[in-house]
């Protein structure tokens, strides 16, 4: 079920980009549960009050070239926001108050532990074999997480650009998390 959740989240991000003529495909790798969050479980209630489309300010969104407003939706447990970059993919942020990073079963080409602000996380490259996406999964607590997924124009093969976009966005978003 967790594999479906993250694949669906990343897939929707790719579909959103597809609507702009820049489809993408996402492919993160299975996590091992080695991440240890630096926040406590009480933060989940604060996290629940956050809206994903408010995780980037207008000026931050413009710095990525994101088209405003972002589109809010709910995807299998993740409350999400999708932003598009006309002609160049997009960005998705999803909040899951019920599932920590260690419980997500992600399947992609490469996975590595990362530090995102005061949090630990996992960088997932190539969800479902895509060469143009990257996700940063932030461990807010043992039982809650935030996923930031960037995808570039479909067929661009620009995974490095997607990881740069996802990493920069995750760093900005982490500053707003409890």
Q: Confidence band (pLDDT; 50, 70, 90) for 105?
A: confident
> 152 lies in which domain range?
2-174
The residue that leads in pLDDT, 73 or 12, is 73
Question: What's the pLDDT at 45?
Answer: 75
Instruction: Please give the share of the chain, as a percent, with pLDDT higher than 90.
Output: 61
Whether pTM > 0.85 for this model: the answer is no
| Band of residue 80 on the pLDDT scale cut at 50, 70, 90 | very high
Residue 39 predicted with pLDDT over 90 = no
CA distances 121 to 30, 37, 59, 140, Å, are: 13, 8, 25, 9
| 69 pLDDT more than 90 | yes
Of the CA atoms within 13 Å of residue 67, those in its CB half-sphere come to 13
Give the model confidence (pLDDT) of 135-170 as tens digits: 999 999 999 999 999 999 988 989 999 999 999 999
Q: Which residues pair with 139 in a beta bridge?
A: 120, 145
Q: What is the pLDDT averaged over residues 73-93?
A: 91
Tell which residue, 81, 85, 110, has the closest CA to residue 95: 81
33 has a pLDDT exceeding 60: no
Strand order in the sheet with 90-96: 67-75, 78-84, 90-96, 144-151, 133-141, 119-125, 110-116
Residue among 92, 101, 98, 20 nearest 56 (CA)? 92
Please tell me the total count of domains within the chain: 1
Three-class secondary structure of residue 163 per DSSP = helix
Kindly compute the dihedral angle of the four CA atoms of residues 149, 139, 2, 24, in this order, to the nearest 10 degrees.
10
pLDDT of residue 173: 98
């Amino acid at each position: 079920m967790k594999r479906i959740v993250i694949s669906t989240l990343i897939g929707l991000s790719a579909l959103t980009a597809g609507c702009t003529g820049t489809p993408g495909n996402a492919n993160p790798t299975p996590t091992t549960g080695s991440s240890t969050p630096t926040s406590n479980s009480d933060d989940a209630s604060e996290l629940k009050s956050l809206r994903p489309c408010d995780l980037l300010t207008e000026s931050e969104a413009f710095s990525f070239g994101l088209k405003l407003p972002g589109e809010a939706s709910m995807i299998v447990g993740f409350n999400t926001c999708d932003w598009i970059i006309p002609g160049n993919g997009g960005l998705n942020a999803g909040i899951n108050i019920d599932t920590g990073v260690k419980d997500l079963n992600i399947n992609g080409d490469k996975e590595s532990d990362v530090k995102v602000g005061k949090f630990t996380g996992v960088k997932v490259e190539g969800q479902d074999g895509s060469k143009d996406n990257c996700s940063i999964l932030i461990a807010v607590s043992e039982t809650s997480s935030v996923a930031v997924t960037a995808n570039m124009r479909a067929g661009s093969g620009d995974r490095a650009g997607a990881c740069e976009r996802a990493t920069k966005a995750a760093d900005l978003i982490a500053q707003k998390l409890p």
